[in-house]
Amino acid sequence: MTKPIHAIILAAGQGTRMKSALPKVLQPVGGKPMLVHVLETAAAAGVTTSHVVLGHSAEPVRAALAKWLSEVPRIAIQAQQLGTGHAVQQALPDVPDDAIAMILYGDVPLVSAETLRHLIDAVHDGLALVTVNLPNPRGYGRIIRDQAGRVVHIVEESDATAEQKQIHEINTGLIAAPAARLRHWLSQVRNDNAKGEYYLTDIVNLAVRDAVRVTTVAAASPREVEGVNDPLQLARAERTFQRIRAEHMARDGLFLADPARFDLRGTLRFGRDVHIDVGVVVEGEVELGDNVSIGPYVVLRNVKLGAGTRVDAYCVLDQAEAGRDNNIGPFARLRPGAKLADGVHIGNFVEIKKSSIGNGSKANHLAYIGDATVGARVNIGAGVITCNYDGANKHQTVIGDDAFIGTDSQLVAPVTIGDGAYIAAGSTIAKDALAGALTICRSRDHKSIPNWKKPKKK
């Protein structure tokens, strides 16, 4: 019978070195809180139940987990910060004796599911540890072995002798053991050390005393098990995360101009022959069809682009959707609700918001289209704006197929431009324009209306 696996994730520290109002374990890596990364990795490794030990800022962390996860883990509170051994004891009452308990950390976000699976497999009814060799092990607990190479002790930096400090194999803190044995050992841990804390690592001495096998698992790399305590370490974790993701996607067929200059803060699905230039930031859920090309320094946030679409440099696409063979940018902005059909051209300094643009239509430069429905084969000239906001409410503009909107025209919504209508340059259109007709609305009159009342929201 397979034993249930319970993860106890320690996340109660104050995180003072981060110097941030945001709790440390909620600091993002790849656009996602570090603690959420750990929980998701634990689940991927086969963990059946997760317990998060919180202390400072427990409520914001609890609220964040409810937002990010469909199933919130069990929460234990460590009211006093009395060490890692004490923290684990706060969650152990909810862990059954027949389970394997695995200790993880909310500020170690890059540990892999593969390493955790190896850790679980190494328990064998004994004690298993993840270790790593560091060129500079300063600050970490050292692994002490006997002449036969067996682990006999872990000594913390503050308690280590000068000779022990020369050891390069360090304890990562990732531990797994049968819950019953872990409970027994922790009940015997004492705090007679330099910091007066209950060290989780003291269970190694107790396991050796009880003649219980202690097995070590080597981490794939030091970066995988590095803790994040300050903004510099957070930045390093971000770059490591991005490099891993970029290399994985490149092997899956994504053409990245430079994997070191690519940021994925969400999920990216892509077809064949998709090319992404340097400095691109992908956030949320993004889908790119076959032969999509993304230029340098583009932001894609919750975007879906059809096959053959090209996005040129410095565009921002946010909650937008485009069909096939569109040309977008450079310096274009698609805001939430922007929907482009096929063969659409959106040029430099054009902004589209909550509007649909029909097949083959063009707005090549310096235009604002908001709250509009634009038909097929429409030409929108430079400086055209839809005046959709009256100061209180938004109004709709409808532009029919094959219409031509001349340069520097203003379409004052609500207004409809008929099919094939031609709006002369510099016109201000406040009434519906007839289909197939030339509409000119220019005036030299200038007047102010006193006692005018501002519109109120409906």
Q: DSSP for 18-79, please give it.
A: G--SS-GGGSEETTEEHHHHHHHHHHHTT-SEEEEEEBTBHHHHHHHHHHH-SSPPEEEE-S
Return the DSSP state at 457: -
d(CA 9, CA 174): 10
Residue 443 pLDDT: 72
CATH 3.90.550.10-classified regions of the chain: 5-225
Residue 139 pLDDT: 85
Return the DSSP state at 158: G
Residues 6+ apart with CB under 8 A from 273: 255, 290, 291
Residue 446 pLDDT: 59
Residue 173 pLDDT: 92
Distance of CA 277 to the CA centre of its chain: 20
Peptide bond into 330 cis (omega under 30): yes
d(CA 36, CA 217): 24
Beta bridge partners of 379: 362, 404
Nearest to 173 by CA among 51, 98, 88, 61: 88
* Marked catalytic residue, from 153, 365, 395, 446: 365
Residue 245 pLDDT: 95
Give SS3 for 216: strand
| The pair of three-digit structure tokens given for residue 95, joined into one six-digit string | 């862990």
| Residue 457 pLDDT greater than 90, yes or no | no
- Output the DSSP codes for 294-334: E-TT-EEES-EE-TT-EE-TT-EEES-EE-SS-EE-SS-EE
Burial (0-12, 13-18, 19+ Cβ within 10 Å), 124: exposed
Going by pLDDT thresholds of 50, 70 and 90, the confidence category of residue 26 is very high
Going by pLDDT thresholds of 50, 70 and 90, the confidence category of residue 196 is confident
Going by pLDDT thresholds of 50, 70 and 90, the confidence category of residue 159 is confident
Average pLDDT for 8-14: 93
| Residue 363 pLDDT greater than 90, yes or no | yes
CATH 2.160.10.10-classified regions of the chain: 231-439
Residue 448 pLDDT: 56
Nearest to 388 by CA among 340, 351, 418: 351
Average pLDDT for 173-185: 96
| pLDDT one-digit tens code per residue, 296-312 | 999 999 999 999 999 99
More confidently predicted of 443 and 81: 81
Is 365 annotated in the active site?
yes
Average pLDDT, the chain: 94
More confidently predicted of 71 and 323: 323
For helices 84-91 and 179-186, the axis angle rounded to 10 degrees is 130
Determine the topology of domain 5-225 in CATH: Spore Coat Polysaccharide Biosynthesis Protein SpsA; Chain A (3.90.550)
Secondary-structure class of domain 231-439 per CATH? mainly beta
Residues in the chain: 458
Nearest to 183 by CA among 82, 83, 94, 52: 94
Model-level pTM?
0.88
CB atoms inside a 10 Å sphere around CB 427: 22
Portion of the chain with pLDDT greater than 90, in percent: 86
| The pair of three-digit structure tokens given for residue 33, joined into one six-digit string | 């809180």
Residue 447 pLDDT: 64
